Chains A and B, each alone.
Chain A
Amino acid sequence: MQHPTILMQGITKIFATDEMETHALRGIDLQISSGDFVSICGPSGCGKSTLLSLLGLLDMPSGGSYQIEGKEVSGLSLSEAAFIRNEKIGFIFQSFNLIDELTVFDNIALPLRYRRQSVAKSEIEDRVMACLKTVDMTHRASHRPNQLSGGQQQRIAIARALVGSPALLLVDEPTGNLDSRNGDAVMDMLCELNNNGTTLCMVTHDPRYADMASRKLHLLDGRILDSDGTPIQQHTTALRQVAAR
């Protein structure tokens, strides 16, 4: 049987200090299948970024189960998590997060250079150039990020996320730092990727862009709400049964 790309069950995240505990996520159940385009929206502080961090293994949950393509990843070491992140997940950040010291080419090649099994130079070159072609930035391969516009930088960030052929693309406010023209262009590009089979999970404030996803999740106070505002975890028994099989 084919496993869902993402399967979260009862995921919680608590940030604790000496004086208090903050429950950022309160039992998240979430399944994302291959080819899905899921958008997550919600007000500030609802837990969107925390959920995205957990999805991307940038942080570990305080409780619950998290599987990527059927493999439990909630208790991995930092090193193992890095490998999974490298091979299965691609990130697109709001502020692009390109490394200024590296050229566009090297920025995109970076995930391949972190591979468990080293990737041949020629293969890196082929894959980077293919990704640059995808985002229509071939001519900028030798430039530095600070020589590019915001929209161009985000396209490079998309190329970097794609270069490792991840199972899931996590997108954090991809248009937050862009004007509407560039924002639209980036969203068009993401839709096109999804249409070509890439699984996407996107956090956004913008309802216009959230509506472009095939599934739309609302997050409030650390819980996923159904369309009528009821926490979705009350209706997830069947989902758990599916997962158990």
Chain B
Amino acid sequence: MLTIKDFSTALYALSKAKGYAATVVVTLAVTLGTLLAAFNLNYTILAAPLPYMEEERLIVSKTPRFRDNVMEFDYASPVPLLQTLYQQDKSTFEDTALLAYSYLAASLRDKADTPKVQIAYTTPGYMRMYQMPMLHGRAFSTEEDQNSNAAVAVISERVWRQHYSADPAMLGKSIQIAANQFKVVGIAADHFVEPRLIGPTRINDIWLPWDFNPSPCTRGLDGRSCMTGWQFLLGKLKSVDDYQRVSQQLTAELNSQFQDATADRLNPANLSISFEAQPLREKLLGDSSNQTLWLFVGSLVLLCIASVNTLNLVLSRTVRQQRNMAIQAALGAQKKHVFMHIFAEMALLLLVALLLALVVAQAEYRLLQQAAEVYLPRVNELQLNLPTLAFAVVVTALLGGAFAALVVRHINYRMLNSQLQSSGKGSGLQISAKVRRLLIISQVTLTAVLLVVCMTVMQQSIAELSQDVGFDTKNIYQIDIDETAPVLTQETRIARIQEKKRELAEVRNALAQHPAVNAVSLANFAPANFDGVYAESSWLKTPDDLTNIVTARVTYTDQHFLPLFGIKLLSGRNFTAQDIHDNSYVLIVSETFARTTWPDQQAVGQRIGRAEAPWEVIGVVSDFNLADQYATTEPLRAYSVRQVGAANTLLYELKPGMTIAKTELNQIMQQVQPQYRAAEVFSLEDNVKRILFAKYLATGVTSGLSLLTLLLAAIGIYGVLSYSVQLRRFELGVRMAIGARPATILRQLLGENLKPVSAGLALAALLLAALWLGLQQTSLIVELSAGGFALPLLLIVLLTTLTSLLSVWGIIRKPAIYALQGQ
């Protein structure tokens, strides 16, 4: 048993070997810290309880639509049916709520700078089920439920502080959203962990009653015409075993209503809809663990490399202490006594490394929260927790146990007794050549695997970052328009879109007159939309075949869009003012769209869609090179002038060196249309950078990981080689004495060292081949390249050469007598 005396002796010994202690502690702390961060991330995503009471009973509606029993859309939004369910079914759930997000821009109209805010429209059950904590005031009451038309609002603490200077008298005051005044009844505390149902990017600022939802989808039961947001029925099951029963029951109810409502539609018989009670956890986390598990595996490999290094350092230190141990052995010490001080040192080092690792992990949580909050769910909840602490202790204990076992196994206690009589010339206590070779082989194998993986990812990311995105972004800005139009109904929708088309054209023309502006266009979405929102449309490829459908991302825009972004027209023509005026059924499609749909024919001139209103392809434009979170490869894209009245962004290019303030933009828009405001203005260049941030992050992380791996490998390989050279110092002296030149010695050592390195590389190749075969079974797309393999190989050989040179440099740069005398 280790005593305090053992620890104080170990502490003194370590104070005399600061370099050794620092190397072990830093190596283990950085890699263990990274592993802990990766573990905690995975634990939080996969296993940690959600911060809601009885979270296992919370569900989110998923309503896929089927045609001929084959799923057509995984997310349909039958809002009227969900509303009916909410109103009528009070027995299925313990609690229910409606929740809608709109992607239409909204701003705080009561503030001069009309800051953009994200709004959720909901019912009181949402705040009950998710236990929304209030900093001040209250949540929605039952009197503010659906159909109450109560104009009240709950605002976030961030909005309260940022836009209302944390006014203590804010409760009871009004804020203006669109044309409505809302009385603030509550301020949600900052620590409210909002369930991000449409992904980590969407964070709401204001909660309004359901009745003010601007897109209630009064038309279109299947949600396909409900194009301006997401709607969910949220529920709390009476029992955790109710998922299946509730899904079956509500599918029957929902589908029955759906069939009734769509009975008069074209070919409705083969359409159906289902209700899935999707567990909240599944909805929030999706398949994000796929990415985080890889991070964990990478961190584990890194820790393995660091552990091999540390083991080598510990073994070398043990060997250096052989004389002390031999004296102890000569005095009758048992094996456990002899190794006790090594264990005491190890325990101290591991304890410090563990504490430092927790600090490193904490720093990495902050880094993850800064960098990946919008990419990974629940990252903002990362903090030290009991499971992570337990994991840290277990890993550290395992490392300590493994080091101790290996030290005892590889240091020959029996030899100690003869040490005091030994001349010390190469016959002393040693780590065997076999162990040294194994250390190098394992080091090289792990390093090569990690480097190849890192460099493949890095190369892929760099290739994507360095290519032209396919459209211009320089000096181009986007305005998200906030307009206070009345809520659309089935009756007003078409007329309003026509009216809005005219209004938007006036606003566009007014902005185009500004001396700082080069060009302006209208569109529903810019080519680069950071939040990933895009419109999608489907056409029948041939009028008589209802099963042959082509679906593409669609941009509703005008004739100025393609020139503004410099999107190359490969064939055909651009839109004309006449097309817009006539609301023509004309399409411009992307290269991928054309190639996929008409592989052997010219796309221009082709007609798609229903026979009574066919769309004519008038042009083909180049693709983009900007993969986003929804499409890893270039999706099909189409451009249309129909529904340009539904556009909600103004896109403009400034002349070089010119700027326009948001207030000025508001004035320009107000002069033309008083109800229009700029909710948000942002640079397309910045937006592209934000979209590419994941690639920048991947490049940064893999570069960092590669450097760390190389550094650890360099330390490890140098440690082993240096130790080998020390053991062979006398032998090398003999070789030099009989005429071996420094270069000859170096060449010989290099040849010898490259043997285990080659074995390690061969083993790495096998592991990589297995990994590659494994990846073929997943959805991950990995592009292999010669560089991704050759560069790590070259780096490892170079590393071996340099470490070989470094390890023997102290011998070959001096006359042979120094090596012979063991100096």
Tell me the A residues contacting B by CB distance below 8 Å.
53, 56-60, 78-79, 81-83, 85-87, 90-91, 93, 95, 97, 99-100, 110-111, 114-115, 160-161, 164
Contacts and interface: CB of A to CB of B under 8 A. Distances in A.
Contact of B812 (A78, A114, A115, A161): A78
B436 interface: no
A81 B744 CA distance: 13
B159 interface: no
A58 B425 contact: no
Given A78-B812, A83-B739, A114 B734 contact: no
Given A58-B820, A95-B425, A79 B815 contact: no
B816 interface: yes
B719 interface: no
B813 interface: yes
Contacts, number: 72
B815 A97 contact: no
B813 A86 contact: no
Which interface residue of B734, B742, B820 has the most chain A CB atoms within 10 A?
Answer: B734
A60 B736 CA distance: 14
B246 interface: no
A48 to B, nearest CB: 13
B812 A53 contact: no
How many interface residues does chain B have, given as a range? 20 to 34
Which 3 A-B pairs have CB atoms at the shortest separation, nearest pair first? Answer: A86-B739, A58-B817, A82-B741
Given A82-B742, A99-B731, A58 B737 contact: yes
B816 A160 contact: no
Nearest to B426: A100
6 contacts: A53-B817, A85-B738, A86-B738, A95-B425, A99-B734, A115-B739
Contacts of A56: 737
Contact of A58 (B423, B426, B731, B816): B816
Contacts of A110: 735, 738, 740
Contact of A59 (B425, B731, B742, B817): B817
Given A58-B817, A58-B820, A60-B815, A114 B741 contact: yes
Given A97-B734, A99-B731, A99-B735, A79 B741 contact: yes
Identify whether the interface residues of B are mostly helix, strand, loop, or mixed.
Answer: helix
A40 B817 CA distance: 19
Interface in B618-651: none
A78 B738 contact: no
B463 interface: no
Contacts of A79: 741-743
Given A99-B731, A99-B734, A110-B735, A82 B817 contact: no
Interface string B140-167: 0000000000000000000000000000
Contacts of A60: 815
A99 B734 CA distance: 8
A78 B425 CA distance: 24
Given A78-B812, A82-B741, A97-B820, 14 more contacts: A57-B815, A58-B816, A60-B815, A78-B813, A79-B741, A81-B815, A82-B742, A83-B739, A86-B740, A87-B739, A111-B739, A114-B739, A114-B740, A164-B739
A83 B744 CA distance: 11
Contact of B815 (A58, A111, A115, A164): A58
Nearest to A85: B739
